Every structure is written in C-alpha cells, then in structure tokens.
Amino acid sequence: MIRLSTFSLAFLGMLFLSSCSADDLSTPAGRYKAALKAGLSSSTVTNDLFLGLQLAETDKEFYDRCTELNGKQLIEMGSGGNRVNHKLDDELARPAVLTFYPDFSDDRPRIIKAMDLEIAYVDWSPWNKAAYAGPLLEDIGKGWASQVFGEGFEIVSHARHGKVLVQVKNNRRTAFWVADDRIVRGRVTDLRALPDEPLIP
C-alpha cells in the first residue's frame, strides 16, 4: 500500500512538472499559450490588418476599401473569388506578392472573421532555392511581420508544418507557415468570432 502511494505521488509529480513545462514562459510554445489565453479573455479589441483593412468589417466596407485601393493602384484583383494581390516591392529581401482573401461570416451583414494570406517571391522558380518559401518565412519574421502587425511574434513547433511564426494581440491572432516550396501561407483570425479555431485551421 505504501509502495502504491509512493508511486502515485511520483506519477502525480511528473504530471505536475509536465503541466508546468507546457506553461513555461521561457519557451516559445509557453509564451504563445499564455498569449492565447490572455487574448481570449481580453476586452481590448485589435482589428488592424494592413492597407487600412480591418477584421470585423462588413463585406461592403471591404469591397469599398478595395475599390479605393485599386484606384490608387495599390492592389489588383487576383485569380478567382475574393482574391486580391498587393505587391511588396521593398518590404522584403526581394520583391514578392501578397495575396489576401477574407473569410466572411455566414450571417448578415457578413463580416470578416479572418483574413487568409499567401506570400511568394516574384522570382521563384524550382531552381532558385533562395526564393523558396523557407527563406521567405525567415524573411517575413525578420521585420515585415512586426512592422505590419506589431512586435511579439514567436516561432513555435508544429507537427505538420515544422514551424509557425505566430503572434496573439488581444483578439487578433496572426500566423505564418510554409505551405509548399513557393508559398508562405498566413491567417489573421478574430478570436472573438473563432475562439476554438486551431493554430492552423
């Protein structure tokens, strides 16, 4: 009986230590977990995206803003649906194209609950390894992501994608990961609208 109790206490101790390590703020995963918890409970709203676009704006507001941006030659329509292209000429180490498309709610008025992103270097080719998505993700993490969305990005491990560049600021979660050889995919999520969405949906 004494041996069983000692074993049980030791087992509970290991569980406690595992739990502590998962919440360890000295690790990127621990800091991300803490930021996510704080973001989900925050009453402060952060909806800023880029080019004056916002999470939680209506489809009409989104299309009106895109019409304005198109008139200024800052964007052009992409291929299919709501896809929009924006050139990143000087923001990264080499010219790239940011393609974005909103994820609207089903109810009316439809609002943006998340914004999906794709980024690729203009000079990508199968033999141009410097323009692959791996170096691009590192490039994004060196400054562009923080300039657009603010400081606080972490690189966390992911079972499928290897690593994810992620930031949580109040209700807004921003994540980037390598989708294939050419494309870095991203998603900016309004956690008020999608509180249970996994890091990569």
Q: Is the pLDDT at 3 greater than 90, yes or no?
A: no
Q: What is the mean pLDDT of residues 37-60?
A: 96
The domain in which residue 36 lies consists of 2-190
Max mean pLDDT among 2-6, 74-78, 183-187 falls in 183-187
Q: What is the mean pLDDT of residues 75-80?
A: 85
Q: State the residue for tokens 């692959």.
A: 132
In a domain, 200, yes or no: no
Q: What is the per-residue pLDDT for 122?
A: 98
Q: Look up residue 59 and give its two tokens.
A: 């489809």
Q: What is the per-residue pLDDT for 177?
A: 98
State the pLDDT confidence band at 23, using cuts at 50, 70 and 90: low
Task: Please state, for a pLDDT cut of 90, what percent of the chain lies above it.
Answer: 80
In a domain, 196, yes or no: no
Q: What is the mean pLDDT of residues 136-142?
A: 97
In a domain, 121, yes or no: yes
- How far is it, in rounded angstroms, from Cα 67 to Cα 166? 30
Q: Look up residue 117 and give its two tokens.
A: 């992103």
Which residues, other chains included, contact 160 with Cβ-Cβ below 8 Å and sequence gap of 6+?
200
Q: What is the per-residue pLDDT for 41?
A: 95
- How far is it, in rounded angstroms, from Cα 60 to Cα 110? 9
Q: What is the per-residue pLDDT for 80?
A: 74
Residue 77, φ and ψ in degrees, nearest 5: -70, 140
Beta-carbon-side half-sphere exposure of residue 55 (alpha carbons within 13 Å): 24
Q: What is the per-residue pLDDT for 96?
A: 98
Beta bridge partners of 58: 111
In a domain, 13, yes or no: yes
List the beta strands (DSSP E) in 28-109. 76-77, 84-88, 96-104
Q: What is the per-residue pLDDT for 16?
A: 35
Q: Are 111 and 105 in contact (CB under 8 A)?
A: yes
Task: Please state, for a pLDDT cut of 70, what percent of the chain lies above it.
Answer: 89
In a domain, 195, yes or no: no
pTM: 0.86
- How far is it, in rounded angstroms, from Cα 201 to Cα 197? 6
State the pLDDT confidence band at 26, using cuts at 50, 70 and 90: confident
Average pLDDT for the chain: 89
Q: Is the pLDDT at 12 greater than 60, yes or no?
A: no
In a domain, 135, yes or no: yes
- How far is it, in rounded angstroms, from Cα 19 to Cα 15? 6
Q: Is the pLDDT at 13 greater than 80, yes or no?
A: no
> For residues 115-143, b (16+ Cβ closer than 10 Å) or e, as one string?
bbbbbbbeebeeeeeebbbebbbebbbee
State the pLDDT confidence band at 9, using cuts at 50, 70 and 90: very low
Q: Report the domain count for the chain.
A: 1
Q: Which amino acid is at 38?
A: A
In a domain, 15, yes or no: yes
| Stronger pLDDT, 73 or 23, i.e. the higher one | 73
In a domain, 199, yes or no: no
